[in-house]
Amino acid sequence: MRGGTFGKSLAVTGVAVMMVSACGQTGGDSPGGSADGPREVTVTLNWVPYGEHAPFYYGVEQGIFEDAGIDLTIQPGNGSGNTVQQVAQRNTDFGWADTPPLANGISSGMPVRSVGVFLQTGPSSVEFFDDQGITEPADLVGKTVGGTPGDAMYGTFPAWLELNGVDPADVTVVNVDAAGKIAALIEGKVDAIQGFHHDQAPTIENQTGKEVSALPFSDFGMNLLGTGLVANEATIESDPELVQAMVRATSEAFLAASEDPEGAVAAMAAGAEQAPDEAVLAAQLEATIGLLDLETAPAPGVNSEAQWTDTLTFLSENTDFEGPATPDTYWDATFGEDL
């Protein structure tokens, strides 16, 4: 969406999270379960729950995970990098994390791999109030942009500017903590912020009543794979049936949520403590569905080697990422083959 305006929302976004479990029993032939019923499994999100995560709650409510032999507990996250670390330390069974931080973690020696990226179009963007009149990267010259050192957007922003003919020296980046970026924009401390437009734009509109626009990086020459499932290499090796069951159930949950977004929003509103207002959730989920590329992807969570190569090559050539640009170092394609 080039400078697109997001629908206005009606209530204040919450910041707490939840734990939710499926109930009931499954037979021993369920891939993730046993004769005693479904297996208890945890997934740690990339952040506190927002609309992108509604398919997990919907999948629990609709019994999709239970049918796969999984009793799923959804846990909050504190950034993709931290989630990847939790998976590496086996403090959680699965993680939901952005691809660039995952690649950095693996290149630093963490024993984890992606088992499927779901957001085929990355949500990284520059966001701003619509009255700024920004419609293209060149309009950022002379502006101040809030960014958080260490995240993927901060690292790729200069390369994205150069890709669009803008000298990074002509744009002032103000270092802001991740939790403070929205406030910095609302309070006028910066003209724009680096962020995930499908998450933050509806939240900002909800809090201010002002229209928010964005320049998605993907609309201007730079698309990096987004968020998806992460597993520890030990889990992949010792329990591939569980990994396959989790990937398949998550794919089914995302597809089901795309077909019934109202139901998915209602499920998350009921299941996640202090979740964003339903209007905010609906806007976030609608934007998320657009990033799944359902018209071209064989199924949610199925990637191609070319997508991974393009993402890794861009990171290698334009950021501090020093890992090899070989997809199978970071991604196990096996679990998407049967979707």
Question: Which CATH number characterizes residue 197's domain?
Answer: 3.40.190.10
Query: Could you say which of 199, 220, 241 is where a domain stops?
Result: 220
Predicted local distance difference test score (pLDDT) of residue 319: 86
Same domain, 186 and 69: no
Residues 314 and 251 in one domain: yes
Per the structure, the complete domain to which residue 321 belongs is given by 4-121+225-336
The whole model's pTM is what? 0.89
What is the reported pLDDT for 36? 72
Same domain assignment for residues 117 and 230 = yes
One domain for residues 9 and 32: yes
Number of domains in the chain: 2
Q: Are 207 and 64 within one domain? A: no
Q: Please give the pLDDT value at position 4.
A: 44
Q: Which residues partner with 128 through β-bridges? A: 213
Beta carbons of 315 and 224 less than 8 angstroms apart:
yes
- Please tell me whether residues 114 and 10 are part of one structural domain: yes
Tokens 């170092």 locate to 329
pLDDT tens by residue, 156-211: 999 999 999 999 999 999 999 988 999 999 999 999 999 999 999 999 999 999 99
Which pLDDT score is estimated for 37? 85
In this structure, are 44 and 192 located in the same domain?
no
pLDDT of residue 53: 98
Write out residues in the chain with pLDDT < 70, as ranges.
1-35
Indicate whether 156 and 262 sit together in one domain. no
Using only C-alpha atoms, what is the Rg of the chain?
A: 19
Q: Are 117 and 237 within one domain? A: yes
Q: How many residues does the chain have?
A: 339
Residue 233 shares a structural domain with residue 321: yes
Last residue of a domain, one of 166, 189, 220: 220
Shared-domain flag, residues 117 and 234: yes
Q: Which phi and psi (to 5°) does residue 200 adopt? A: -80, -35
Domain boundary among 220, 252, 287: 220
One-letter amino acid at 295 equals: E
Cα separation, 117 vs 228, in Å, equals 4
Quote the tokens at residue 316: 């290698």
314: closest CA among 157, 80, 148?
A: 157
